[in-house]
Amino acid sequence: MPNTTSASSPPHTPDGGAAANFDQLRIRADHLFRTAAECCRQHERYAHLSERDMEEVELDGAFEQVCLCDRLLGEVAAAYEKAAARAHPDGDDETWWRKANALWAASREYERRHAGCDHAGRRVSSRRSADKFGELQMEYELAASALLSLKQAVDAYRKARPDAVERPTWRV
C-alpha cells in the first residue's frame, strides 16, 4: 500500500525526501572527489617513480595502482551520474553541486582520453607507421591535458567542500 510506512523506509515529508536525496548525492560527490584526488596522486607518483632508477617490479606495482585508480574513477563517476541524473540543488547546495558536476565531467573526459590512448597504442603496435606514432603522441598529450583538468576540478571541489576529507588520518 503506497500510503503506509514500513519500518524499512522512512516517512516521506515534503522536504525530508529531497534533503535525504541531496545528502546521498553529496556523499557520492565526496566519494568522486576522493577517488579523483587519489587517481591524480597515483599518476603523479608513477611519473615520479618512472624518472628514477629502480627495479621493474616496483614500477609494475605502481602501474597496477594507477590502473586500479583509473578503473575505480570510472565506476565512481558512473555512480555519481546515476545519483545526479534528476537532482538540481539550490541555495547552499548549488555551489558544491556545480563543482561536483564539473568534477564528474572532467572524470568522464579523462576516462575517454585514456581509452583513446589505449586504442591508439594498439593501432601503433600493429602498424608501426610514422603517422600512427604522431597520432599516439597527440592522444597522450590530450590525455595529459585531461588529467590536468581533472586535477583542477579536484582543487575546485576541495574549495567548495572542505569537509570532504581527501586522506583520512588513521590511528594505530
Counted domains in the chain: 1
CATH number for position 153 = 1.20.120
**Cβ–Cβ < 8 Å for 76, 31:** yes
pTM (two decimals): 0.76
Within-domain flag for 150: yes
All cell numbers assigned to 110: 579523462
Any domain includes 89: no
Q: How confident is the model at residue 1 (pLDDT cuts 50, 70, 90)?
A: very low
Query: What is the separation of C-alpha 51 from the centre of its chain, rounded to a whole number of angstroms?
Result: 25
- In a domain, residue 69? The reply is yes
pLDDT for residue 101 is more than 50:
yes
pLDDT (tens digit, 9 = 90+) per residue, 2-21?
343 333 333 333 444 555 57
**Amino acid, single-letter form, for residue 147:** L
Q: Is residue 1 one of the residues assigned to a domain?
A: no
| pLDDT cut 70: percent of the chain above it | 72
For 102, counting Cβ atoms within 10 Å of its Cβ (0-12 exposed, 13-18 middle, 19+ buried), the class is middle
Tell me, yes or no, whether 172 lies in a domain. Answer: no
pLDDT tens by residue, 31-85: 999 999 999 999 999 999 989 888 999 999 998 999 999 999 999 999 999 999 8
Q: Which domain holds residue 101?
A: 31-84+96-160
Asked whether residue 115 is domain-assigned, the answer is yes
Q: Would 18 be classed as within a structural domain?
A: no
3-state secondary structure of 141: helix
